[in-house]
Amino acid sequence: MERFTGSFTQQEPIPEAGIEAAIAVLRHGRLHRYNTAPGEIAETALLEEEFAAYTGAKFCLAVASGGYAMGCALRALGVVAGQPVLTNAFTLAPVPGAIAALGARPVFVETTANLTIDLDNLAEMAAKSGSKILMLSHMRGHLADMHALMALCNRLGIKVVEDCAHTMGAAWDGIPSGRFGVMACYSTQTYKHMNSGEGGFLTTDDPQLAARAVLLSGSYMLYPRHRAAPPPEVFETIRLDVPNVSGRMDNLRAAILRPQIAMLDDRRARWNALYQVMEQGLAGTEGLVLTSRPAAETYVASSFQFLLPDWSADRVRAFVARCAARGVELKWFGAPEPVAFTSRYEHWRYADPQPLPQTDRVLAGLIDMRLPLTFGLTDAALIARIIRDEVGQVAQANDLTVEAVPLAD
């Protein structure tokens, strides 16, 4: 019986250019973004300029995390305590967490079988809640029809903030993800598309929002040192009104990240090659449904999802356990208790309880897998063979007690 022995959590090392630049920052000791020698431009300011150029956004702010970027975006938009904020029911905990951090109320929207936000339900929940803000999570890199979504939100007067934690380098109809909403948030945490341990970006074309975000992040009166920010005049009228909610990025992380921007497109190609091998290996597996990827979507497949529709919980549990015994680490979003990152909307008890039958149906059979770039194509093919085999075995099994799969080969 075949077994996989690789690690699902091992990312690639930091590129040598990033290591060198990081060591230079450590040697001079000016890690704080506003601590610069005469004539020096901080790594953080350069990173912002370069990331803005990569996405095509006018303004960019580097911050301490993706979660911070989301909270900062909502604050910049003037979201206050008690205000309803629409968001995906299927997302990760930092998304509703960013809403809750402001004392605002997450209002969850149903999920389609393609793991995107359901636009009919979005209109319904917008009407019911009166919310004028959507924190749109491109969860696991699946993009909704962005033209239809923006047309709907514009018609309803809803401002869209994009959570691009899984879509850095992705596009819809050729337009980069993050360029549709009024603001976009990115993460550079280790498991995302660029790795600085922790970190994030906020981008926008709106000078007022950009200035508010810079002040919020803790710029004191040093905002003229930013390069991908609006000119100082824009700050003058608001600089004493916007509170400092410190969440800056530092020059060490910026140094690690700068060389990774130019690697994003190559990483996308390599991730998608792994994804396509998985897709081919699993195509036509009875009982297993792959998510369909629309032609307009340029995705970055840093993870892989499939559905086991209408499988009983016992059957899914047995399947996940048997794959784990063969070295294939899968996460199940339908488990009654959250495991690792798989908590779902009903586990977030700080939010108002909401019935979401369609999302429940999708998540009950949703399997999620990391696809680190340390895997090769033969690894992806082997993983797909194991999954295919186990789907076949478990789908037909009458006895679902998980048999001891021999650990040695």
Residues that bind ligand PLP (CB under 6 A): 65-67, 91-92, 94-95, 137, 139, 163, 165-166, 187, 189, 200
How far is 141 from 148, CA to CA, in rounded Å? 18
Q: Centre a 10 Å sphere on the Cβ of residue 105 and count the other Cβ atoms it contains.
A: 18
- In the complex with ligand PLP, which residue's Cβ is closer, 169 or 200? 200
- In the complex with ligand PLP, which residue's Cβ is closer, 43 or 163? 163
CA angle 189, 192, 195 (to 5 degrees): 55
- In the complex with ligand PLP, which residue's Cβ is closer, 87 or 272? 87
Q: How far is the CB of 93 from ligand PLP (least distance, A)?
A: 9
Is residue 52 within 8 A of residue 59, CB to CB? The reply is: yes
Q: How far is the CB of 200 from ligand PLP (least distance, A)?
A: 5
Token couple for 187: 């993460």
Amino acid (one-letter) located at 340: A
Give residue 197's region: left, alpha or beta (phi > 0; psi -120 to 50).
Answer: left
- In the complex with ligand PLP, which residue's Cβ is closer, 66 or 327? 66
- In the complex with ligand PLP, which residue's Cβ is closer, 96 or 259? 96
Phi, psi at residue 105, to the nearest 5°? -115, 115
Q: How far is the CB of 237 from ligand PLP (least distance, A)?
A: 31
The owner of tokens 């506003």 is 34
Q: How far is the CB of 67 from ligand PLP (least distance, A)?
A: 3
- In the complex with ligand PLP, which residue's Cβ is closer, 346 or 390? 346
Q: How far is the CB of 62 from ligand PLP (least distance, A)?
A: 12
Q: How far is the CB of 5 from ligand PLP (least distance, A)?
A: 27
Contacts of 236 (CB under 8 A, 6+ apart): none
Q: How far is the CB of 9 from ligand PLP (least distance, A)?
A: 14
Token couple for 268: 């996308």
Residue nearest ligand PLP (C-beta atom): 66
Is residue 346 within 8 A of residue 242, CB to CB? The reply is: no
Is residue 149 within 8 A of residue 162, CB to CB? The reply is: no
Residue 149: its H or E element: helix 146-156
Amino acid (one-letter) located at 352: D
- Select from 141, 172, 165 the least CA-distant residue to 68: 165
- In the complex with ligand PLP, which residue's Cβ is closer, 161 or 386? 161
